[in-house]
Structure 1
Amino acid sequence: MAAAEERDIAKIQEQEQALVFDKFDLGTAFELGMLLRDMALEKGVAVAIDVRFHSMPAFYLAMPGTTADNEHWVRRKRNLVLRFFQSSYAIGRKLAHMNDTLENRYGLSSADYASHGGSFPLKVNGVGCVGAVTVSGLPQREDHNMVVEALCRMLGKDLATLQLERQ
């Protein structure tokens, strides 16, 4: 495994362990969705934003410049997170390292699952995964980084210590 890929996988695991809520409800979901919207506006990027609480849609926004394809990417990446309780980017990096695919390894159709960055598990201390937050519209690493940045802001975590290295 390339050193950079190893560092990414380790850092994403660290992110998943650190970015955990004490509580999460529909109000928190809306706050997270609005934070991502504000970040997208600040950055001038066109993304679709989805926050799912259990199986319930809690927040969805398609920014101007997105297409219907973004909603399909959101659904497929979110499905992966809700199946494995790991970020879609982590699973994608691990599969790339193994030179494998979701279909070959797990029998999962690419029509329903995508191992591309941008979806992250929403975890609560003492509970586990209660949903997923997903961004689609940027290159997959940037989708992932945007979600991590928003979670760091909400949880008061130091982004500098949790972000992936620049490529």
Structure 2
Amino acid sequence: MVVLDKKLLGRLTSRKVPLEELEDMEKRCLLSTFTCQDAFDLGNYVRNAVKENFPEKAVAIDISLPNGHCLFRTVTYGGSALDNDFWIQRKRKTAIRFGHSSFYMGCKKRRQTT
């Protein structure tokens, strides 16, 4: 059973995690295999966690392979739009281009401009 670390979630949402710690988390999250069932289970877990921790927020969740093949996609509540699709494409391209999550890259850019 996976348990959400709410303290870590708070640090992540406030962007108060050092880049070195984010990079370490990314390295630990490498998977030797990833099946369609894994994508479905992970997507449902994320959807339920978002609904519990951010009630009434419309969040688009997309789990796709680097080649663009979508394995899981949903939104938490109404209010999503076509712009969400473009946003997800940009996040995927950023991760593939730089080898880091778009979250990591956003934190890195934010720190370079401050």
TM-score (norm 1): 0.50
Partner of 1:53: 65
Candidates 7, 27, 40, aligned match of 1:30:
40
Task: Answer whether contact 2:58 2:80 (CA < 8 A) is retained.
Answer: no
Residue ranges of structure 2 left out of the alignment (5+ in a row): 1-14
1:43-96 Cα offsets, whole Å, 9 max, x none, are 223210000023201111022233212222222111111222201122122233
Q: 1:6: how far off? A: 9.1
1:90 aligned counterpart, secondary structure: helix
Return closer, same or farther for 1:17/1:66 CA change in 2, 3 Å cut-off. same
- In 2, the alpha carbon distance for the partners of 1:47 and 1:7 equals 22
TM-score (norm 2): 0.70
- In 2, the alpha carbon distance for the partners of 1:50 and 1:6 equals 25
Return closer, same or farther for 1:7/1:40 CA change in 2, 3 Å cut-off. closer
Structure number with the higher helix fraction is: 2
Q: CA RMSD in A?
A: 2.1
Opposite residue 107 of structure 2, the aligned amino acid is R
- In 1, the alpha carbon distance for the partners of 2:111 and 2:89 equals 24
Candidates 12, 16, 37, aligned match of 2:26:
16
Candidates 84, 94, 99, aligned match of 1:85:
99
Partner of 1:62: 75
1:14-52 Cα offsets, whole Å, 9 max, x none, are 111111223112111111111111112222232100000
Residue ranges of structure 1 left out of the alignment (5+ in a row): 100-167
1:86 aligned counterpart, secondary structure: coil
Using the aligned pairs only, state the percent identity: 29
Structure number with the higher strand fraction is: 1
Structure of higher RCO (CA pairs closer than 8 Å, 6+ residues apart): 1
2:72 aligned counterpart, secondary structure: strand
The number of equivalent residue pairs is 95
- In 2, the alpha carbon distance for the partners of 1:58 and 1:6 equals 31
